[in-house]
Every structure is written in C-alpha cells, then in structure tokens.
Amino acid sequence: MNPGDDKTLLSSTVLIVDDNAQNLELLSAYMEEVPGLTVVGATNGMEALAKVAEHRPDLVLLDVMMPKMSGFEVCRQLKSDPETRDIQVIMVTALNEVGDHERAVDCGTDEFLTKPVNRVELITRVKSLLRVRHLKRELQQTLDSLDDDKGDS
C-alpha cells in the first residue's frame, strides 16, 4: 500500500468530542479536508459514548477537559470494552504537563495533540491512525477466515 493512498480512508467515521462549540467547528472543518470521512460531533463524554455506540467510529478526536466526564474517562471506557478498544483515540487538549501526557497514555490513548492544534499535523495523524485501524481490521478478517478454513478441514 502506498503511504499516500487514501483509499483506505473511504467510509471512515471520525467522532469529534469537545465541549467548546468553536473547537468542534474548527476540528470538523479540518476533517472535511480529508476525502471520504464522515464526521460526527459530541459536546460531552456521555454524548460521546452514546455516539460511539450509534456510529461505531474508526477514530475519536477527544478533548480532555469536559464537564461531567473527562476525556480521560471516556478513553478509559472505550479502551476497556472489547467492542470499542480498537477505535483509535487522539486526545486533544490545552494541558501540556508531563503528568497529563502520562495520564493520557495510562488510559489508552493512541496519540496526544496539544491545543492550538496544527492543521497539517492533525490531518497527518488522523490519516495515519485510520490506516492502522483499517489494516488491523483486514488482519483480523484474514485471521478469522483462516480459523474458519481450519474448522472446515
């Protein structure tokens, strides 16, 4: 697969979670630059978990500091559930202390970006993680197919 090949991104869904409407709008606009993406938004952690159940996104752009349920807790819940643990998560936050990065890693995030987000860096990381997501899915389908073939023999 050619690294510049965006065919793997077709029909990918990205969930953007941020309690700030301007940030949500900005990140959504950035994601519209990536062909083939469906973008879904949520404004808090509880809504995010409901949207994950409804839309089964391939990737979540997740604000950390939100009322009611932090991005850390949303990520922890996603990564602890076998049904959602393979969803790629990019934490997006104004927090930039080493401890914040460690906490994000501890809860299972796949990437960490600090606000203000650089558009090119964000798009590059989103494309990369979506490729990883689709390759993992293809690998699992191949392994499942091989298991099925063994069962038939």
Q: What DSSP string runs through 109-147? A: -SEEEESSPPHHHHHHHHHHHHHHHHHHHHHHHHHHHHH
What mean pLDDT is predicted for residues 81-105? 88
Tokens at 54, concatenated: 């409804």
User: CA–CA separation, 108 vs 88, rounded Å?
Assistant: 10
Of 66, 82, 73, 139, the closest CA to residue 107 belongs to: 73
Q: Which CATH class is domain 7-152?
A: alpha beta
Radius of gyration of the chain (CA): 16
pLDDT per residue over 43-71, tens digit each? 999 999 999 999 999 999 999 999 889 99
Query: What's the rounded Cα separation, in Å, for the pair 129 and 133?
Result: 6
pLDDT of residue 103: 87
Domain ranges, ordered by start, for the chain: 7-152
Residue 17 confidence (pLDDT) above 50: yes
Q: pLDDT: is 57 or 102 the higher one?
A: 57
Measured N-to-C along each axis, helices 71-80 and 98-106 cross at an angle, to the nearest 10 degrees, of: 30
Give the C-alpha separation, 136 to 139, whole Å: 5
Can you read off the two tokens belonging to residue 4?
A: 């510049």
Choose the weakest-confidence range: 32-46, 59-73, 85-99.
85-99
- Residue 73 pLDDT class (50, 70, 90 cuts): very high
Residue 35 has pLDDT above 90, yes or no: no
Q: Report residue 1's pLDDT band, with 50, 70 and 90 as the boundaries.
A: very low
Q: Is the per-residue pLDDT at 11 higher than 80? A: yes
